Structure 1
């Protein structure tokens, strides 16, 4: 494999991980499921969840996201080891959210990934979600608008721009 191909592969895998976070936060369940191979798997051992296939992944993520008033995930780059048309890697995650049942949480986690090159680009073959730290202390903040609702356009504060 050429150095340029390895760079391109790493870039595409990093973009795949970014798409995962964006699709989840934007509640775009079809796009979310499309990031996996047809027989892709999501495992979340802490809640004893295993979703196998794009159909199960789509339905499962929609059900899980439906539990949250708001949910914010930030993913940080980890490792990628290329092995031809497959790769393995890790991504580090911080999340916070408030559930519809009134509970909230802040956590730091790791995704343990297997990737597969497909005719449509790199896809997840498997994502295993490992929670490393969990804080269920009630969050002090709140979401400025309901989950899934479009954000309001910011209004300009004209008084703060006078005299500049």
Structure 2
């Protein structure tokens, strides 16, 4: 593999990880599911969650997002190890939000990833979410709610 191909692959995987965070924050469940291979898997062991297939991932993430009043995820670059048409990597996450039941969550986590090059570009084959720190102290702030039709809803 040429150095240019390695750079391109690493860049495309970083874009994939950015799309994941953006699709989740924007509640774009179809786009979210499309980032995985058809048999892709999302695992969140701390809450005993496993979604297998794009269909389960789409339905599952929509259900989980529906539990949040507001949610913010910030992704930080981690590692990528290329192995031809597959790769493994980690991304580091900071999240906070308030659930509809009033509970708050601030956590730092690691995504342990597996990727596959497809005809549609790089996709996740597996994403495992490992919480490294969790704080359930009530958050002092709040999310401003946009007026119907405002630009904030896009």
TM bucket (normalised to shorter chain) is: over 0.9
SS in 2 for 1:96: strand
Q: Which residue of 2 aligns with 1:20?
A: 20
CA root-mean-square deviation? 1.3
What displacement does 1:149 show?
7.7
- Following superposition, the deviation at residue 60 of structure 1 comes to 0.2
In the alignment, does 2:136 pair up with 1:144?
Answer: no
Q: Unaligned 5+ residue runs, structure 1? A: 153-164
Instruction: Output aligned runs, 1:95-134, within 5 Å.
Output: 95-134=95-134
Q: TM-score, normalised by structure 1?
A: 0.90
Structure 2 partner of 1:31:
31
Task: State the TM-score, normalizing by the size of structure 2.
Answer: 0.95
1 CA distance for matches of 2:28 and 2:125?
19
Residues of 2 paired with 1:52 and 1:114: CA distance? 14
Displacement of 1:75 after TM fit?
A: 0.2
Larger radius of gyration: 1
Task: Give ranges in structure 2 of 5+ residues lacking alignment.
Answer: none
Alignment: residue pair count: 151
> 1:130-154: per-residue Cα shift (whole Å, max 9, x none)?
00000000000000116x98555xx
Q: Distance in 2 between matches of 1:149 and 1:51?
A: 33
Is 1:52 equivalent to 2:52 in the alignment?
yes
How much does 1:3 deviate?
0.2
**Distance in 2 between the 1:151 and 1:27 partners?**
15
Correspondence for 2:10: 10
Contact 1:23-1:29 within 8 A present in 2 as well: yes
**Aligned residue for 1:157?**
none
Alpha-carbon distance in 2 for matches of 1:6, 1:89: 14
